[in-house]
Structure 1
Amino acid sequence: MTNERDEQFHSFVLSHRAGLVRTATLLTAGDAHLAEDLVQSTLTKLYVAWPAFRRADNPEGYLRRTLVNALTDEKRRWWRRHERPVADLPDRPHAEPDPDDRSDGLRLALRELPPRMRAALVFRYFYDLDVADTADALGCSEGTVKSQTARALDRLRTVLAPTELPLTGVIR
């Protein structure tokens, strides 16, 4: 037997789940399995706090904040730091990614950023949120968003910058 709350939540999930998975995939730098786990955790927390969510002035911000908190909680788990799950065991060591593939390079560079720094980039540049909305989603000050974004962009520029070959030994 379902009540009105369950029906409201069910219709919310049907209309927002795909967007949540897309956002979570960006926040996890392409880790689809972790993204699915984050969405499930977010929806569980949202169901428990459904009355508060319905009363929120900014439900989209509430949802983003819950998703980022789920990511932060997941990254703090002790076993996350010790295990690297893979779908199939490799026969040989993993080959390095193709240096000409910029999307893989970007994904790998994003993966190296701390979760909150990555979240600041995703909200600012993928979702085009302003500094205030990003600060609300991350639960921090606007100055923190600006500094995290600047540091993240600097790290990405360093990692993704084309390597320059030295000109020593070049015959002219």
Structure 2
Amino acid sequence: MIVVKRTLLALALLLGAAAAWLWLTMLSPWFYERPAHLEPIEQRSHQVFVYGTLTVAPVRWVVMRAGGDPETASLAGFRREGLDLTRDEAATVSGLVLQVTPQELARLDRYERLGVRYRREELTLADGEQAWVYRRLAEPHTHTATAPSRQALIGYSQLAADTARPIVASPVSRIRHES
């Protein structure tokens, strides 16, 4: 009986932690502030094409507090690559198109961290309709790898050669080193 109680307590703690994390990341007034350079949201109905976690109904309800009246849709000329879309004329991405209010779009912007993690682009879907699509921003700390310089390679090969030779200390070198 104790094992069952501990298991239920652990499960309750995990669910509570997950709920707290979801609230902090998606709904709380902390941890995201809409960047000032972004255009204000137009006060009209919007269409949004979603292709990831927002295709799952419970996630949409938590994020938007609504279902968004989803319909299947596809975006031609793109392929999904991790959390982003990459242009590829031969590919098509399947997803959903949602009808959202300005308030729901603001909640989606918060969830996607618009201006921080994602940008919102208006693209043409395969059926010719226009819809907002969230696409990843370039990582600001991305570094390109460069080949090591010749001097660095020479230094490395000298270090490798020095460590390959056995070190034999003579009594004279130990006396000089100690003084």
Provide the TM-score with structure 1 as the length reference: 0.25
User: Greater helix percent: which structure?
Assistant: 1
User: Greater strand percent: which structure?
Assistant: 2
Provide the TM-score with structure 2 as the length reference: 0.24
